[in-house]
Amino acid sequence: MKRNQIFALAAFLFVVLIGVPWLIQVTGRWDFYYTLTSVALLSIASAGVWLTFYIGRINIGQGAYALAGGYFSAILVTKLGVSFWLALPLAGIFTAVVSIFIGWPILRLRGVYFAMVTLVLTEVARLTALAMPVTNGAKGITSIPLPSGIASLENTKLGFYYVAVALMILVFAAMYRLVNSRIGHLCRSLQQNEELASSIGVNITYLRIIAYSISSFFGGIAGAMFVAISQSIYPSSFQVADSVNFMLNCFLGGLGYVFGPMLGTLVLYFGWDLLFQTGKLQLLIYSSLLILLMLVLPNGLLSIRLSSLFGDRK
Amino acid sequence: MEQILANGLYLGAQYALIALGLTLIFALMNVLNFAHGQMYVLGGFVTYTVYAQLGLPFIVGLFASALTLAIVGALIEKFLFRPVIRRSSREESTMLLAAGIAFFLDAVILLVFGEKQRGVPKIVNGVLNWDFRLIMPYDRILIGFLAILAIVSFILFMQYSKTGRAMRALAQDRVAAQLQGVNVDRYSMIGFALGAMLAGLVGGLLVTITGVNLGMGGPTSIKAFMMVMIGGAGVISGAIAGGFILGMMESIGLSVLSQYGDITYLAIFASLMVFLAIRPQGLMGKPWG
């Protein structure tokens, strides 16, 4: 790691772990904890979507895994009395295993075909949650106890903030490590040309499933964490709009950059939050801005950075 | 059994019409139109306004829906998709744009028509009762008949008119069509308008049976995607086949699986996954064409 990278990392850690809580303390905007916790968790799920993009697939099915992870941990905690801290990784593993079975057939699809089938998957997850007896149908699972360590804290919001941020840092550190490893380079070869990669001897089926299950693992833990915070889960907790938003986060932040999903989630979520004051017009303004952004910058936010860096103007 | 088949046919005709619009847009421009369900809802609301609010004949409402959506579709293609396709470096950008348009149409529908469920008075009264083996209200039969009529005229239009031929050429090979003197911009716009018009037409037809509400857009898009997956993307015969297959499966599933709860769609999706594992390009699609 280069020196300026270490410096940037230290600055980032300082800001999220000390700077933000201090600022909130000073300004008294306690509601920001919830917003920032959501941003951290949503960016974990978006990181999963980004990873599937890294192997050249557009994933609009992350909502399904977030929902599955959320329900799995909720059921473990309420029905079996498992501690949340055990249920959290178990939810991730559960969604990863599920995604292997689902991913095996659908990862053969490409482009918009894969996008379509993952979008359908989101809706099917919602319908499954509605239909299954163990998920309690439309009533959902409510009054889930708070995780043991956090429940005893005086300020649960701060506790959740630290847990979510720690998870986010872990996830993005793992992503960074993965992308810069041998597997990461192989994944990039899939993104560029699968046939060529396969002809050189890359086991593309195996690699695709690995990447997809890691991506779903992220979705699962993000969903489980969300459920712990809201203490409830319904079939509509994660739906098609959420899946689309995860994808938008990645595209907006930039697909060529590991920390893109984090930036995209921050911008989109805060943008949406700021527009809350406009009331009924919120969705209208938000979607108009999205459309305008696509018209002005069809290649994402990151394209500004790249074009200014290399100085090419088309 | 007759009842199940009749329901399936009736549903299938509606579904095929929705899938046709989606697949047409996909074939011509390689755009996955996320906003298709929202266009369908908009069509439903236009018919509701003209037929139930203004009291004009139903057929006028239907024409108003088709015309409104055709104009909306043409404008969306000209001012949004065309510049983005020209300037973006990868095809996924159009998906984002389509998602943005879906949100936008949702917002417009919410502001203009509100979030309530809207229904219209029945267009014809009475029920066909064939010996209690087949019971079907007359208005459903009429709507099913109109939908099949629309599908047939769409196929004839694509097959024999000059515009239809131009669009088919465009779908086969964009560059070759351009070299033959097909005005690509113009026919892309007409194609998008036609696809949107079909969505509006189904919306207008179905508002008489199921009513219309804001939340129907997303699920409708999803069903349309499923049909296109079954039949193969960008193929007209595939869209029709996919529509009827999904309609049949839904109708059979609802009657056979109802004792196990609402798992029809779960079963359909599971079978879709098995099907795609064997045939990723769908029934009639070209392999990665």
SS3 B19: helix
ipTM (interface pTM): 0.79
What are the pLDDT digits (tens) for B123-142? 777 787 777 777 788 888 88
DSSP, res B214: G
pLDDT at A310: 44
What are the pLDDT digits (tens) for B1-55? 778 888 888 889 989 999 999 999 988 888 888 899 999 999 999 999 999 888 8
Q: Do A284 and B262 touch (CB under 8 A)?
A: no
Which of B84, B219, B226 has the CB atom closest to A294's CB atom? B84
Q: How far is CA A285 from CA A170, B210, B214, in A?
A: 34, 30, 18
* Maximum C-alpha span of chain B: 62
- Nearest by Cα to B94 from B33, B39, B172: B33
Q: Do B261 and A131 touch (CB under 8 A)?
A: yes
The answer to whether position B22 is within a domain reads: yes
Phi, psi (deg, nearest 5) at residue A123:
-70, -40
What size, in residues, is chain A? 314
Amino acid found at A132: M
Average pLDDT of span A213-218: 94
Beta carbons of B33 and B98 less than 8 angstroms apart: yes
pLDDT class for A67, splitting at 50, 70, 90?
very high
> Is the per-residue pLDDT at A311 higher than 70?
no
Structure tokens at B4: 């199940």
Q: Which domain holds residue A228?
A: 3-310
Interface test with A, best of B91, B222, B268 (most A CBs within 10 A): B222
**Count of C-beta atoms within a 10 Å radius of residue B168:** 16
Q: Which domain holds residue B184?
A: 2-214
Q: Do A58 and B95 touch (CB under 8 A)?
A: yes
B265 CB within 8 Å of a chain A CB? yes
pLDDT class for A300, splitting at 50, 70, 90?
low
Total structural domains within chain A: 1
Structure tokens at B126: 């009475």
Q: Cα dihedral angle (A77, A78, A82, A86), rounded to 10 degrees?
A: 0
Q: Do A106 and B225 touch (CB under 8 A)?
A: no
**How far A281 CA sits from the closest chain B CA (Å)?**
8
Q: What CA–CA distance (Å, rounded) separates A51 from A171?
A: 11
Q: What CA–CA distance (Å, rounded) separates B241 from A217?
A: 36
The answer to whether position B121 is within a domain reads: yes
Q: What CA–CA distance (Å, rounded) separates B122 from A32?
A: 51
Secondary structure of chain A in HEC code, one letter for each residue: CCHHHHHHHHHHHHHHHHHHHHHHHHHCCCHHHHHHHHHHHHHHHHHHHHHHHHCCCCCCCHHHHHHHHHHHHHHHHHHCCCCHHHHHHHHHHHHHHHHHHHHHHHCCCCHHHHHHHHHHHHHHHHHHHHHCCCCCHHHCECCCCCCHHHHCCCCHHHHHHHHHHHHHHHHHHHHHHHHCCHHHHHHHHHHHCHHHHHHHCCCHHHHHHHHHHHHHHHHHHHHHHHHHHHCCECCCCCCHHHHHHHHHHHHHHCCCCCCHHHHHHHHHHHHHHHHHHHHHHHHHHHHHHHHHHHHHCCCCCHHHHHHHHHCCCC
SS3 B212: strand
Which of B219, B272, B280 has the CB atom closest to A108's CB atom? B280
Structure tokens at A31: 């509601």
> Is the per-residue pLDDT at A313 higher than 50?
no
pLDDT at A223: 93
The answer to whether position B87 is within a domain reads: yes
Of the ranges A142-146, A297-301, B99-103, B211-215, the best mean pLDDT one: B99-103
Total structural domains within chain B: 1
Q: Do A299 and B93 touch (CB under 8 A)?
A: yes
Mean pLDDT of chain B: 86
In this prediction, what percent of chain B has a pLDDT beyond 70? 97
pLDDT at B261: 65
Structure tokens at A11: 């600055």
B-chain CB neighbours of A288 within 8 Å are: 104
Of the ranges A142-146, A225-229, B172-176, the best mean pLDDT one: A225-229
The answer to whether position B64 is within a domain reads: yes
Q: Looking at chain A from residue 270 to 299, which residues have their Cβ under 8 Å from any Cβ of chain B?
A: 280-281, 283-284, 286-288, 290-291, 294-295, 298-299
Q: How far is CA A143 from CA A82, A125, A132, B224, in A?
A: 15, 22, 19, 37
A-chain CB neighbours of B92 within 8 Å are: 58, 251
SS3 B134: strand
Q: What CA–CA distance (Å, rounded) separates B84 from A306?
A: 19
Return the minimum-mean-pLDDT range out of A36-40, A251-255, B248-252.
A251-255
Beta carbons of A146 and B277 less than 8 angstroms apart: no
**Count of C-beta atoms within a 10 Å radius of residue B133:** 10
pLDDT at A8: 80
**What angle, rounded to 10 degrees, do the helices at B217-231 and B36-47 form?**
130
B115 CB within 8 Å of a chain A CB? no
SS3 B117: coil
> Is the per-residue pLDDT at A58 higher than 90?
no
The answer to whether position B232 is within a domain reads: no
Q: Looking at chain A from residue 113 to 152, which residues have their Cβ under 8 Å from any Cβ of chain B?
A: 113, 115-117, 119-121, 123-124, 127-128, 130-133
SS3 B288: coil
DSSP, res B118: B
